[in-house]
Amino acid sequence: MKIKRKIGLFYIFVFYVIFIMTLNYPNHPDEYMYSYIFGTDIRISYPIQLFISLKKMYFEWSGRVISNFLQQFFIFIGKDSFVILNSFVFILILFFSSKLILKILKIDNKFTEFNVLKTHVLVLFGIWFFIPAFSQDFIWMVGSTNYAWPLLLSILLLYYFIENTNEKKLNWKYILLLLVVAISNESSVVFTGIFMFLEIVLEKLKYNKCSQYKIKSIVYFFIFSLIQILAPGNMSRIKNESVEFFPKNTIFEKFLYIVNLNEIRILMILIVLLILLIFAFRLKKIKIPISLLITSILNLIVFIFILPRNENRALLYPIFGLILFLTILMYQILNEIRYKYQLIIILIISSFLLISVIKILNYYSVEIKYLESIRKTQLDYYKSKEEKEIVLEKYSSKINNISYRYQAFDFLETSPESFANLKIGKYFGFDKLYAVESGKKLLVVNFAPESDIKTLRFDMYGIGYSALYNFDKKNLKNNSLFLEIPKEVNRIDIRGHNFIIKNIKILKILDGKEFESNENIRTIEIRKS
């Protein structure tokens, strides 16, 4: 089999993997939220409304002009187009990452089929195993348009930034690329800007001169970046989310969050080991792309200072930089050994990838697909009955049986006041949306405003079942308590002081209300006919 044919098969395989994962990835609350003109109850029905929403987001939420437009555009036209295009974007990330690696090493003239295959496998290995939120960055619609798609643009920009270093003028296509990257994502700005700056500094130190092309590039890039950085919506979002996700909002709190990520620790250990290996065996021909390493480290430091929320997907850029750095070292070390041993190592890495990928594909094409069909059936049932207060099955426990990197997420909670419940309920036209685990039903207790609960206990009984629930005040939401209880429960004794029950009810998935009372009762008995 020719190497060229192997590359073709590699692309087909990767496309298939990303396609299946994207196709079966469930909608997040964000998809439902961004179906509307931002901050309104108006569903986007016309293309012009996309731009109205984009303007509102810029002034009220985020300066990510390109990403904000793309996420709402694909929600508007439907997911099918995104599934196909997203699979192509991932392949292009692999392809241009390979080109960028060979360009950094100044061996792009050796862009042979085997070098392509080798760099592709190494980059894919790094992305698949070391990106801490792979599915959120590359598969989820809103996540991918905010992170993966801008990442591709950044890789393209850095490639041409290095490629055209001898040019004197910036052509309009390159200027447009600078603009698009600058207004895509703040992570793109930080990572790309640091790398460009370091390249100029290192060039000055090494050759005592700077490429005018590179200087003009970073000047344009900085000016364009101000469009995103100075967006009025940024500060509002940072202020609100810092308190929510980092209660103390300290540098140390954010530092611990980053260093505690296994992916970062393992990456750094591997990088240190490879560098020690290079020096131990005196592999003088191997180039260490110091600008890429420093860029990634500085990027992480910047994130420690400005990170508004503890979301692993936000660390895509610095970790991707470390992956590229690791790949460059591995690529060069492999070149120091015989061809047949290179093949063996690549086959071993490919085997690890294949085993993991098969497991994840089964997870998406069987488990997630099945659970989403259940969710759709339940929603269709409630809509056909024109119900306004509904209970859906919550399946977070069923989909958390796999590494966080690849998880699909169910954000539905018991309380109808949670973010996901509100957004999904609003989208489908329900007044209240609850969620409980399979095999459970929901106890809803609404207390009178004058209640000042001191003690509260629920003694529950059923056939072969008894349990005790002690009240925790943090579970009280707007004078309401939402408890998931086993289906077997048919008697509840309520004990405590300083409260008045305004309304109490028990709800079941699809079966509606099993019990309801507007009295200040203390005992519930459910009698089966």
- As a whole-number percent, the residues of the chain with pLDDT over 90 amount to 71
Residue pair 154/191 in contact by the 8 Å Cβ criterion: yes
How far, in Å, CA of 63 to CA of 65, rounded? 6
Pick the CATH number of 439-525 from 1.10.3470, 2.60.60, 3.90.1070, 1.20.140: 2.60.60
Residue 1 pLDDT: 42
Residue pair 105/332 in contact by the 8 Å Cβ criterion: yes
Q: Is the alpha carbon torsion for 73, 396, 375, 517 positive or negative? A: negative
Residue 181 has pLDDT above 90, yes or no: yes
- As a whole-number percent, the residues of the chain with pLDDT over 70 amount to 95
Q: Which residue spans of the chain are classified as CATH 2.60.60?
A: 439-525
Query: Comparing C-alpha atoms, which of 345, 349, 294 is closest to residue 322?
Result: 294
The pLDDT tens digits for 193-237 are 999 999 999 989 988 888 899 999 999 999 999 999 999 988 777
Q: Is 217 left (phi over 0), alpha (psi -120 to 50) or beta?
A: alpha
Residue 400 pLDDT: 82
Tell me the pTM. 0.93
Query: Comparing C-alpha atoms, which of 129, 155, 212, 145 is closest to residue 185?
Result: 145
Residue 246 has pLDDT above 80, yes or no: no
Residue pair 88/95 in contact by the 8 Å Cβ criterion: no
Mean pLDDT for 500-519 is 94
Who's near 77: CB < 8 A, 6+ residues apart? none
Tell me which of 28-42, 376-390, 475-489 is least confident.
Answer: 475-489
Q: For residue 71, give both structure tokens.
A: 């996420």
Confidence of residue 474 (pLDDT cuts 50, 70, 90): confident
Calculate ∠ Cα 306-312-318, nearest 5°: 65
Residue 238 has pLDDT above 70, yes or no: no
Residue 13 has pLDDT above 90, yes or no: yes
Residue 164 pLDDT: 78
**Highest mean pLDDT (candidates 256-260, 376-380, 467-471):** 376-380
Residue 440 has pLDDT above 90, yes or no: yes
Q: Is the alpha carbon torsion for 405, 30, 85, 183 positive or negative? A: negative
Mean pLDDT for 416-444 is 95
The pLDDT tens digits for 320-372 are 999 999 999 999 999 999 989 999 999 999 999 999 999 999 999 999 999 99
Residue 529 pLDDT: 45
Residue identified by tokens 């061809």 is 339
Residue 426 has pLDDT above 50, yes or no: yes
Residue 528 pLDDT: 64
How far, in Å, CA of 511 to CA of 508, rounded? 5
Mean pLDDT of the chain: 90
Mean pLDDT for 407-417 is 91
**Highest mean pLDDT (candidates 114-123, 125-134, 296-305, 308-317):** 125-134
Residue 357 pLDDT: 97
Mean pLDDT for 291-312 is 83
Residue 381 has pLDDT above 50, yes or no: yes
Residue 126 pLDDT: 97
Q: Distance from CA of residue 449 to its chain's centroid?
A: 40
The pLDDT tens digits for 21-65 are 999 999 999 999 999 999 999 999 999 999 999 999 999 999 999
Residue 365 pLDDT: 95
Mean pLDDT for 393-418 is 90
Query: Comparing C-alpha atoms, which of 138, 220, 232, 153 is closest to residue 185?
Result: 153
The pLDDT tens digits for 255-283 are 888 888 999 999 999 999 999 999 998 88
How far, in Å, CA of 421 to CA of 434, rounded? 7
Who's near 238: CB < 8 A, 6+ residues apart? 306, 308
The pLDDT tens digits for 442-456 are 999 999 999 888 888
Residue 527 has pLDDT above 90, yes or no: no
Mean pLDDT for 11-17 is 97
Instruction: For helices 172-182 and 148-163, give the axis angle rounded to 10 degrees.
Output: 140
Q: Is 413 left (phi over 0), alpha (psi -120 to 50) or beta?
A: beta
> 203: burial class by Cβ within 10 Å (0-12, 13-18, 19+)?
middle
Residue 220 pLDDT: 97
Confidence of residue 183 (pLDDT cuts 50, 70, 90): very high
Residue 243 pLDDT: 46
Residue 248 has pLDDT above 70, yes or no: no
Residue 36 pLDDT: 98
Tell me which of 128-137, 298-307, 359-368 is least confident.
Answer: 298-307
Query: Comparing C-alpha atoms, which of 4, 10, 268 is closest to residue 123?
Result: 10
The pLDDT tens digits for 483-494 are 999 998 999 999
